[in-house]
Structure 1
Amino acid sequence: YAFVKISEGCNRHCAYCAIPLITGRHRSRPMEDIVQEVKELVAGGVKEIQLIAQDLSYYGKDLYGRFNLAELMEKLSDIEGLEWLRLHYTYPHLFPMDILKVMRERKNICHYLDMAFQHCSDHMLQQMRRHINAEESYQLIEAIRKEVPDIHLRTTLMVGHPGETEEDFEALKTFVQKVRFERMGAFSFSSEEGTYSGDHYQDDVAQEVKEARLDELMALQHNISEEINQEKVGKSLKVIIDREEEDYYIARSEFDSPEVDPEIFIDKTKKLNIGSFYQARITQADTYDLFAEIVENQ
């Protein structure tokens, strides 16, 4: 797999985030440059492309006057030999819904979306300057899952931002329990100089409270991840073999991004080729990983 950056910088000004200070405003790469880069990578044997940016969903607005990530996805999807195209780092506010139609219609676009929601209490979303409220967050997730029913959503959440009350944290826990994200990462706020939060808010949530909230949130997700994994037992998935370790081949499905998501362990009973695709049946699951057997070559 290879990572391909389609833009640099960010036009969103979330209160806690230093990225716009470091990278500057959003600058999209011309579409033909990206298509050419992906063609060269695929010609060199790359099977999976991870599209990355500080904010994928803003792609094209500066160059073409409109959000046109969907058009870019179509052009990349047409490249002969590209097996999987995966989207990382999209933003909930002004999310371009047209990309979901492309995702649904194109076989080589992974049913996977990485979208950081950060929080789900109106008070916190306002403090964080996220330009979206709790109700809109719930509605967006519902709409995404309606368009692509088997999509796996990865999100990132933050605890302990200045002003976060117990009530805010309860709203965040409810969000995690109701939405049941397939993948979730979380972290606690740390103040950065130059950001709105760093310059205008007192870092008023005690460190031990931040840590306790983070642990509680991750424990909730731990149970959800385990239940979601158990539901996969008996199902057959297309997998790519990434590497081998001692007794197992390590694989992933379209629902798993390398380095951050669960892996699939396959016994070395048959000789498999690294970088090749196979059909595998899930035989067993634990909280974060799956075990499978090969059913057939792809």
Structure 2
Amino acid sequence: MSKKLHLVSLGCTKNLVDSEVMLGRLKEYEITDDNREADVIIVNTCGFIDAAKQESINTVLSLHDERKKDSILVMSGCLSERYKEELQAEMPEIDIFTGVGDYEKIDALIASKQSSFSPEVYLATETSGRVVTGSSYHAYIKIAEGCNQACSFCAIPSFKGKLHSRSLSSIQKEVENLVAQGFYDFSFISQDSSSYGRDMGMKDGLFDLVRTVEGIDGVRSARILYLYPSTTTFELIDAIADSEVFQTYYDMPIQHIDDGMLKIMKRGFGEKKTIELLEYMKSKPNAFIRTSVIAGHPGETEESFERLCEFMEEFGFDRFNTFTYSNEETTTAYTMEQVPDEIKEEQAAILGEIADRSTQRSLEAMVGKKVELVVEGESSEHEYLLSARPLIWAVDIDGEILINDTSDLSIEYGKVYEANITELVGNQLLASLVKQV
């Protein structure tokens, strides 16, 4: 009988790619959703902010409590890397510890039941043999690891190091391999995607990536996640908007808009230039703009918070996330005077309400439009409704459209259809299919 594997991937989609690499190395195992019957349990942890760290610890301990005798429990990823000494000393429940450098060695580590922390962060290549999960048509492509920025609130460079980009040929080969397997929609990700290639001497690395991907036969749709304001140019915005393959999708976390706060946060760009970039993105036909902001960063005054709220209400983002500031050791903001928790939570709630209104206005603007979308399956809302995602929306984070009229078309999940968006019911868009395209 084959041995069984239970894997939990926490945190961001960059972590998901690393988890998929581990699945590729452990293909001889049968994947099980029941952790109690697994011979090997892996938790790929997140160590970004307090809430993520706590989720990682709770998940590991919960799985330990339920696991069967003689099973192997592995803790990998960012949290394990960031606190390797403390966790190994304080968590005897774990059989194998590994960080962010040994994903491709996970089979050997399990076979020898040894922990390992390689000094270099691992970056998947076209030969990693990863097993893409969650979709038959969409895959994430990690283009770089680490980050050269020095944001006051972010600990990532302290445990993932400086920017380390993949070669363009490696990215091209991975996409070509996935296209050959039937994938046609891709999201390109890293900590700071607009800096891609700078460590390799590429002046316009992301331009080169866009052009390369456009030339791969079989790629139908693509988007770039996580641009950084000071490394994003008007020319890059043009290149994305002009592409017939890349969606006019701009995901650029701004974190704040007040000049004083941007300086405190060490964001590189001030309010004026940040707004110029955003307005230029907004000027592009059918542009979709997503961002994120932080509530309660040290140094935030009532006036700077009001300026942030005013801008987020007025600009018209299609989506934005709010993160409550988490005080992380190794960051420059760690020793600054902290905003009280109750004020941080109040500010996050206010920004959350603004985000809801902003999303609602974006959804309202889509009523009456014709879109290309992927029918993903039966909706959890009702057995007679289908769940679909417009190709311009990012997977899992921008929502779904419900299909209540198939026009008697033969439906294939994972295929692209033209649809008319007919109405907005509450915060849910409804659409009718026109034809398969």
TM-score in terms of structure 1 length: 0.95
Larger Cα-atom Rg: 2
Give the CA RMSD over aligned residues.
1.4
Asked if the contact 1:188–1:211 (Cα under 8 Å) also holds between the matched residues in 2, the reply is: yes
1:238 and 2:372 matched: yes
1:43 and 2:43 matched: no
User: Is the partner of 2:232 in helix, strand or coil?
Assistant: coil
1:119 and 2:256 matched: yes
User: Is the partner of 1:85 in helix, strand or coil?
Assistant: strand
Aligned residues: 295
Q: Which structure features the higher share of strand residues?
A: 1
User: What's the CA shift for 1:150?
Assistant: 1.8
Asked if the contact 1:120–1:133 (Cα under 8 Å) also holds between the matched residues in 2, the reply is: yes
Rounded to whole Å, the distance in 2 between the matches of 1:279 and 1:152 is 18
How big is each residue's C-alpha offset from its partner over 1:188-234, in whole Å with a ceiling of 9 and x where there is no partner?
Answer: 10100111111x3122x111111111111111221221122112111
User: Is the partner of 1:184 in helix, strand or coil?
Assistant: strand
Asked if the contact 1:31–1:72 (Cα under 8 Å) also holds between the matched residues in 2, the reply is: yes
Asked if the contact 2:163–2:199 (Cα under 8 Å) also holds between the matched residues in 1, the reply is: yes
1:128 and 2:265 matched: yes
Q: Give the aligned partner of residue 101 of structure 1.
A: 238
Identity of aligned residues (%): 33
User: What's the CA shift for 1:287?
Assistant: 5.8
- Among 173, 187, 190, the alignment partner of 2:326 is 190
How big is each residue's C-alpha offset from its partner over 1:1-55, in whole Å with a ceiling of 9 and x where there is no partner?
Answer: 0000001100001000011111100011000000000001111001100000011
Rounded to whole Å, the distance in 2 between the matches of 1:255 and 1:33 is 25
Asked if the contact 1:112–1:254 (Cα under 8 Å) also holds between the matched residues in 2, the reply is: no
- Among 26, 35, 54, the alignment partner of 2:191 is 54
Rounded to whole Å, the distance in 2 between the matches of 1:268 and 1:286 is 15
User: Is the partner of 1:32 in helix, strand or coil?
Assistant: helix
Rounded to whole Å, the distance in 1 between the matches of 2:424 and 2:275 is 29
How big is each residue's C-alpha offset from its partner over 1:62-105, in whole Å with a ceiling of 9 and x where there is no partner?
Answer: 11341320111111011111111111011011313322332233
Q: Give the aligned partner of residue 359 of structure 2.
A: 225
- Among 128, 141, 165, the alignment partner of 1:4 is 141
Gaps (5+ residues) in structure 2? 1-137
User: Is the partner of 2:298 in helix, strand or coil?
Assistant: coil
Q: Give the aligned partner of residue 262 of structure 1.
A: 399
1:201 and 2:201 matched: no
How big is each residue's C-alpha offset from its partner over 1:154-200, in whole Å with a ceiling of 9 and x where there is no partner?
Answer: 101001001111101001011102211011110110100111111x3
Amino acid at match of 1:173: C
Rounded to whole Å, the distance in 2 between the matches of 1:175 and 1:254 is 28
Gaps (5+ residues) in structure 1? none
**Bigger RCO (CA 8 Å, 6+ sep):** 1
Q: Give the aligned partner of residue 15 of structure 1.
A: 152
Asked if the contact 1:3–1:49 (Cα under 8 Å) also holds between the matched residues in 2, the reply is: yes
User: What's the CA shift for 1:288?
Assistant: 4.6
Asked if the contact 2:241–2:247 (Cα under 8 Å) also holds between the matched residues in 1, the reply is: no
1:85 and 2:219 matched: no
Amino acid at match of 2:296: G
Q: Give the aligned partner of residue 178 of structure 1.
A: 314
Rounded to whole Å, the distance in 1 between the matches of 2:384 and 2:405 is 6
